[in-house]
A and B are shown apart, each in its own frame.
Chain A
Amino acid sequence: MKTEMLGIEIENLHLAFGPTRVLTGVNLSIKPGEFFAFLGPSGSGKSTLLRSIAGFGPRPSGAIRIGGRDVLDLPPWKRNVGMVFQSYALWPHLSVQENVAFGLRERKLPGAEITRRVEEALDLVGLSHLAARMPNQLSGGQQQRIALARTVVIEPQVLLLDEPLSNLDASLRVQMRRELLALQRKLGLTTIFVTHDQEEANSTSDRMAVLDKGVIQQIGRPQELYDHPANLFVARFLGTANVLEGRVEKRGEALRFVTGSGDALPLPMAAKAGPSSIVLRPQNITISPLCGPDTIIGQVLHSEFLGSQIRYIVQAAGSDLVIDKSHHMSEPTLPTGAEVALQVNMDSAVLLNA
């Protein structure tokens, strides 16, 4: 069950529902065989974008090319893209076997081949023993696998997954996403995965696109996006981000970042003077016992014991900073109200021009 790998090109895609703009100027190139994630909060347009690729919803303007062919004017049933729905959309009146065989029957394949391929697909998801069941006799995870089997059995050019894990419980979700990835690798299917869960996107995708308000904010590998968010939205959406607002000032050769509260931090990277903000991850600020030249003073507001680390909320530099500190045995937690000095690792900071 190995299909030809095809890339997807999206060019200048626009879509509006009446006066509401749902997708604006989307440009995207997905490589053949890639596992690609659309990540964004609800209402960001990620599902709409996925449905546009599958051919559902109103026709957008622009272009969507699969394997070089513009599919925008093809109806869904002629696009040969497989989609797995958030609700799985297993037809309750058909058995598992009939559900999976549906797409093959539509393609009018010979009966023997249908039987063989359905068996293969059910084997692939490890549920061949449930072929005779009705969907409402299956657990959520089983339904999910059947939905997947039903989609891959037609050997689609690309596989679209619309929040496929959102209806599963947490432990199953982790297991299923590994299975999904393994399956994708095995089949070599170009796959797009829609999720609002950054962990899901990070852990599975080769690359991802972060969407907000119908606009792609940034495209890249998960790590790239985490380490080098292009804007505040991406920084905040991926992981926890401390954002300090202020301005870049030039003192001779040295650059420094001055917060609104007047605290100054040295800047190791090149930057233009002017209003700006920096993004600091919680692990890039350390609580130091000593006041140094590059430290800032803060006050502990709150602490949470998380096991491997302790998360402190510290008021400093005019905002509440989240700071993670590794936990070592018998080390006491700093009390609320304690004054602390903060050492900022400016090499890991991301400077965003306002």
Chain B
Amino acid sequence: MPQDTPRPADGTGLADRLPAFLFPRLSGAALAGLLIAIFLLGFLIFPVLQVVYVAFIDPRSGGLTLQNFADFFATSLFRESFVNSFYVSAMSVVVATIIALPLAYITTRFNFGGSALIQSLGFIPLIMPPFVGAVAMSLIFGRNGTVNLMLREHLGFTIPFMEGLNGVILVQSIHYFPFILINLSASLRNIDRSMEEAAQNLGSSGLRLFRKIVFPLAMPGYIAGAVLVFIKVFDDLGTPLLLNVNNMLAPQAYLRITSVGISDPMGYVISVILVAFSILSLWASFLVMRGKDYATVQKGGGGLAKRDLSGREKVIAYGAVLFILALVLSPHLGLLLLSFSTIWSFAPLPDGYTWANYIRMWEGSQDYILNTLLYAGIAALGDVILGTAIAYIVMRTGIVGRKCLDYMATAALAVPGVVLGIGYLRSFQGIEVPFLDKPLAQWWVIIAIALMIRRLPYALRACMAALQQVSVALEEAAESLGATKSRTIRRVVVPLMTGGILAGFVTSFATAAVELSATIMLVSSEADSPLAYGIYLFMQTPSGRGAGAALGIVAVIIVGLGTFLAQIIIERDKKLKTSGTEH
């Protein structure tokens, strides 16, 4: 493994060594912002433009045109796809909220055994390994999956969980609700308990209290999560493809771009529209959230008072939590069964169980696992560094054009992985890596960078939410004591953001660990392949399904353990921060 090669774009060190006249009147933050902007331009905007400029080219004359966009809106299939994508995204937010809200509320509001475990388990659905995840899902919820086979046998009817747009909504909600869970929980934890007590004191309780006071106060976190779900679902192609739903924008873009040899610009037109619409949604969420920065007006802190549950409430709460967890984790249960199964075909459960899949997986997959840890680790680390820096620049400085950093980074959410992959090949194939004598596009580091860019929006959201909760006064206090800006950030701001940064790291790491769409274009040798690619290889043969599932389980376990650890650290961090308050 080439672990000890230096990572590029490592930040500000370079600037210190440059003569001052090169950067007149540039503060450290502005310089960092500039470097980040250059990094994003180089590794996101430029490669993507290399691909999507086709959207603005007239295929007949080669000249610039907006005709393709006119075609987009003139095509009823695309108009329908747009409406379908919008409908599915909006409904997914609703269903994901229904799933996430009870989990977030119960675990943050009550003394509830295993809160950290539930929060971690609630995160697992984000880690759906490619292909095997789909197979496992259809084995459980599909037309002839476990649930429907049993329903048909015992009750004589079936439920089309995985069919049509509603199927997409269900699967997407199960997949992406953790975004809401994570952000909402963080917000709920940060509500000053007196906010809730004041309402109780004035006669409010239960759901009314939640609806009128607690939830509106948690709105910043909720919106952050909801907009992520919305954009992600809008741009996601994996699930619609898995359910073979084509009449949505993202799969339309993907299907058209990846068709062999066809140079129809519409795929790229749709990509541009996806990116534009995602940025629009984000901007809309900014508008909604304007003036709702509640962090600075809350003085006490300490989070919602945790209450003990009465016996009856306990039964209801555990019932609700277990039901939700059972629902959202059933694909992973299916994956587990699949990984131990001999043959599983048209039956509620596998025909038999075996270790053979794990043995077979282990024989050829150590490299994949190590590569994944390396790439996802680098990507997530880079993401939280970039995320913290961007969050700080956007929220705490007045640098001109700072919002652009945010928009650029978030636009990555809407760039289909395959577009980024092709863009990298197109942009970096001609650039030689010094000393290695191979093109940059074929160096393993480029995979890590692609993952970093793809997952940056997740880390960025988490870092922004965390920074929002750090009062400016704390920063000013440090500065008044003589700390320099960079020291203040390092010693005060970043430590206070630990929870959020860690959450961002985990989200980036976990989702990068199972990412495939960009990597499949960039893998240039098997020795450099990550785990998702290994699953892809296994899944191409019927006999490789079990081994692929076993590798998927390894991914889930690695990421799940990491998440659990992070949860424990976040909880401990929380306790440390609140131990000062007394009544």
Interface residues of A (CB under 8 A from B): 42-43, 47-48, 51, 54-58, 75-78, 80-83, 85-87, 89-94, 102-103, 106-107, 134-136, 147, 150-151, 154, 167
Known: A91-B195, A92-B294, A135-B297. A83 touches B201 (CB 8 A): yes
Q: Which of B209-225 contact A (CB under 8 A)?
A: 209, 212-213, 216-217, 219
B205 at the interface (CB under 8 A from A): yes
The complex places the Cα of A47 from the Cα of B582 at a distance, in Å, of 9
In the complex the two chains form, is A83's CB within 8 Å of B195's CB? no
In the complex the two chains form, is B298's CB within 8 Å of A87's CB? yes
Interface centre among B198, B209, B219, B291 (most CB of A within 10 A): B198
A sample of 4 more A-B contacts (CB under 8 A), given A91-B198, A93-B216, A154-B202, is A48-B583, A78-B203, A92-B292, A106-B208
In the complex the two chains form, is B297's CB within 8 Å of A83's CB? no
Interface centre among A43, A89, A93 (most CB of B within 10 A): A89
Interface residues of B (CB under 8 A from A): 192, 194-195, 197-205, 208-209, 212-213, 216-217, 219, 291-292, 294, 296-300, 305, 308, 582-583
- Chain B residues positioned under 8 Å from A57 (CB to CB): 305, 583
- Chain A residues positioned under 8 Å from B300 (CB to CB): 85-87, 89
The complex places the Cα of A218 from the Cα of B213 at a distance, in Å, of 39
Q: How far is the CB of A96 from chain B (nearest CB, A)?
A: 13
In the complex the two chains form, is B203's CB within 8 Å of A103's CB? yes
Residue of B197, B204, B582 near A85 (CB, 8 A) is: B197
Q: How far is the CB of B491 from chain A (nearest CB, A)?
A: 27
In the complex the two chains form, is A77's CB within 8 Å of B204's CB? yes
Known: A87-B192, A89-B195, A93-B292. A82 touches B201 (CB 8 A): yes
In the complex the two chains form, is A85's CB within 8 Å of B194's CB? yes
The complex places the Cα of A92 from the Cα of B204 at a distance, in Å, of 17
In the complex the two chains form, is B199's CB within 8 Å of A102's CB? yes
Interface centre among A78, A102, A134 (most CB of B within 10 A): A102
- Chain A residues positioned under 8 Å from B205 (CB to CB): 75-77
Known: A42-B582, A56-B197, A92-B294. A87 touches B202 (CB 8 A): no
In the complex the two chains form, is A54's CB within 8 Å of B201's CB? yes
Nearest first, the 9 closest Cβ-Cβ pairs linking A and B are A103-B202, A89-B194, A89-B198, A76-B200, A106-B203, A77-B205, A85-B194, A87-B299, A47-B583
- Chain B residues positioned under 8 Å from A90 (CB to CB): 297
- Chain A residues positioned under 8 Å from B294 (CB to CB): 92-93
Q: How far is the CB of B473 from chain A (nearest CB, A)?
A: 13
Work out how many contacts link A and B, with CB atoms closer than 8 A: 95
Interface centre among A78, A85, A136 (most CB of B within 10 A): A85
The complex places the Cα of A80 from the Cα of B203 at a distance, in Å, of 7
List 23 A-B residue pairs with CB atoms under 8 Å apart, sorted by A's residue number. A56-B200, A75-B200, A75-B205, A76-B201, A77-B203, A82-B202, A83-B198, A87-B194, A87-B300, A91-B213, A92-B217, A93-B216, A94-B216, A102-B199, A102-B212, A103-B203, A103-B204, A106-B203, A107-B203, A134-B291, A136-B296, A147-B198, A167-B299
In the complex the two chains form, is A150's CB within 8 Å of B217's CB? no
- Chain B residues positioned under 8 Å from A87 (CB to CB): 192, 194, 298-300
Q: Closest B-chain residue to A167, C-beta based? A: B299
The complex places the Cα of A75 from the Cα of B310 at a distance, in Å, of 13
The complex places the Cα of A322 from the Cα of B247 at a distance, in Å, of 87
The complex places the Cα of A57 from the Cα of B111 at a distance, in Å, of 13
Known: A86-B300, A87-B192, A93-B219. A102 touches B197 (CB 8 A): no
The complex places the Cα of A92 from the Cα of B582 at a distance, in Å, of 23
The complex places the Cα of A30 from the Cα of B292 at a distance, in Å, of 42
Q: How far is the CB of B187 from chain A (nearest CB, A)?
A: 13
- Chain A residues positioned under 8 Å from B204 (CB to CB): 77, 102-103, 106
The complex places the Cα of A136 from the Cα of B297 at a distance, in Å, of 7
Q: How far is the CB of A325 from chain B (nearest CB, A)?
A: 39
Q: How far is the CB of B399 from chain A (nearest CB, A)?
A: 25
Known: A47-B583, A87-B192. A93 touches B200 (CB 8 A): no
Q: Closest B-chain residue to A85, C-beta based? A: B194
- Chain B residues positioned under 8 Å from A92 (CB to CB): 217, 292, 294, 297-298
- Chain A residues positioned under 8 Å from B297 (CB to CB): 90, 92, 135-136
Known: A48-B583, A87-B299, A103-B202. A93 touches B217 (CB 8 A): yes
In the complex the two chains form, is B582's CB within 8 Å of A43's CB? yes
The complex places the Cα of A135 from the Cα of B296 at a distance, in Å, of 12
In the complex the two chains form, is B201's CB within 8 Å of A77's CB? yes
Q: How far is the CB of A182 from chain B (nearest CB, A)?
A: 23
The complex places the Cα of A42 from the Cα of B581 at a distance, in Å, of 11
The complex places the Cα of A348 from the Cα of B217 at a distance, in Å, of 56
Q: How far is the CB of B297 from chain A (nearest CB, A)?
A: 5
- Chain A residues positioned under 8 Å from B292 (CB to CB): 92-93
Q: Closest A-chain residue to B209, C-beta based? A: A77
- Chain A residues positioned under 8 Å from B583 (CB to CB): 47-48, 51, 57
Q: How far is the CB of B462 from chain A (nearest CB, A)?
A: 22
Q: How far is the CB of B26 from chain A (nearest CB, A)?
A: 33
Known: A57-B583, A91-B195, A93-B292. A102 touches B202 (CB 8 A): yes
- Chain A residues positioned under 8 Å from B200 (CB to CB): 55-56, 75-77
- Chain B residues positioned under 8 Å from A51 (CB to CB): 583
The complex places the Cα of A89 from the Cα of B192 at a distance, in Å, of 8
Q: How far is the CB of B199 from chain A (nearest CB, A)?
A: 7
- Chain B residues positioned under 8 Å from A43 (CB to CB): 582
Q: How far is the CB of B194 from chain A (nearest CB, A)?
A: 4
Q: How far is the CB of B119 from chain A (nearest CB, A)?
A: 24
Q: How far is the CB of B317 from chain A (nearest CB, A)?
A: 17
In the complex the two chains form, is A83's CB within 8 Å of B197's CB? yes
- Chain B residues positioned under 8 Å from A154 (CB to CB): 202-203
Q: How far is the CB of A134 from chain B (nearest CB, A)?
A: 8
In the complex the two chains form, is B197's CB within 8 Å of A106's CB? no
The complex places the Cα of A51 from the Cα of B296 at a distance, in Å, of 25
The complex places the Cα of A150 from the Cα of B203 at a distance, in Å, of 12
In the complex the two chains form, is A85's CB within 8 Å of B305's CB? no
Q: How far is the CB of B447 from chain A (nearest CB, A)?
A: 44
In the complex the two chains form, is A151's CB within 8 Å of B194's CB? no
The complex places the Cα of A80 from the Cα of B308 at a distance, in Å, of 22
Q: Closest B-chain residue to A135, C-beta based? A: B297
- Chain A residues positioned under 8 Å from B213 (CB to CB): 91
In the complex the two chains form, is A91's CB within 8 Å of B582's CB? no
- Chain B residues positioned under 8 Å from A75 (CB to CB): 200, 205
- Chain A residues positioned under 8 Å from B209 (CB to CB): 77
The complex places the Cα of A81 from the Cα of B25 at a distance, in Å, of 59
The complex places the Cα of A57 from the Cα of B302 at a distance, in Å, of 13
